[in-house]
Amino acid sequence: MGKRNNSESGVIMFTSAKGGSGCSFMVNSISSCLALKTTANILLLDMNIGKRDSRTAFDVDEQAARDFGDIEEIVKDMDTQVLRKLVLNLESSLNIILPPLKMDRTGILKKENLNIFIECLRDHFDIILVDMPYYLFSYIDMVEVDIADRIVFVTLPDIYSVSNCRILMNHIEYIRPGIDRYMVVNKYNIRASISPTGLANILKYPVTAFIPYDRDIEFLVQTRGPFQMFNYNLRIVKSIKDLSMKIYEELWQ
């Protein structure tokens, strides 16, 4: 832990309007890429309460690991020591904060708690990447909570995903007007049930990156974790690296 850059921290929230769009895949890969390729102190904050996806992806020992449910009672006394116990250090000095597996441990979501929590994270990390399930937008008052500087929307290229993504974008535009956004169309090569024009008409927003689906990479990530993909010179890896660097370089502009 400990910030390496003197500049402000950047909080980038990843979300998608439909389950299985690849939101966790993208945030896990981009966090790993930034930890590998930059000197910034990176934190991945997984907000998926009740899901063990990030534990599985990064092969975390479930018994030993703490999660943000453990601090719901003491968040007002958050300090470096509490944070040190909560944060797990992964490969390439990527840091992660896990969600509680018990679904009723939602104390952190109260707006005053969440503000203290995020502020404390901003004090200790250069870049914080948040894996944010869309249903939390109906819980969290984003006007009152300073949880993101930038938002990455991940969508599949089918009509349901894209239409629902537009609804989510409208909601964010309404509560956080002018917030910087990236639009990522994932698995564009296998779910092309909507034409590029159709996509543009619904989204009404430029696409930042098209990420292909790659079966070997899916298998690799599931068996050996997200870091491994950066050993391969594949189109999907290049797209993820380019997107990671774009996000990184634009963060402090």
Query: Which residue ranges make up the site for ligand ATP (CB under 6 A)?
Result: 16, 19-25, 48, 53, 186-187, 211, 213-214, 217-218, 221, 236
Cβ at position 245, least distance to ligand ATP in Å:
18
Work out how close the CB of 7 gets to Mg ion at its nearest, in angstroms, rounded to a whole number.
29
**Numbers of helices and strands, H then E, in the chain:** 8, 8
Q: CA 114 to CA 107: how far, in whole Å? A: 9
Nearer to ligand ATP, 121 or 154 (CB): 154
- Least gap, CB of 100 to ligand ATP (angstroms): 16
Q: Which pair of structure tokens corresponds to residue 43?
A: 């934190």
Q: 137 is in the binding site of which of ligand ATP, Mg ion, none (Cβ under 5 to 8 A by kind)?
A: none
**Residue 196 contact among Mg ion, ligand ATP, none, beta carbon within 5 to 8 Å by kind:** none
Cα(191)–Cα(53) distance, integer angstroms: 23
Q: Which does 22 bind (CB under 5 to 8 A by kind): Mg ion, ligand ATP, none?
A: ligand ATP
Residue 69 or 133 having the CB closest to Mg ion: 133
Nearest to 69 by CA among 51, 49, 84: 49
The listed partner (Mg ion, ligand ATP, none) that binds 31, CB under 5 to 8 Å by sort, is none
Within a 10 A sphere around the Cβ of 191, how many other Cβ atoms? 16
CA distance 249 to 211: 19
Rg of the chain in Å (alpha carbons): 17
Which positions touch Mg ion (CB under 5 A)?
24
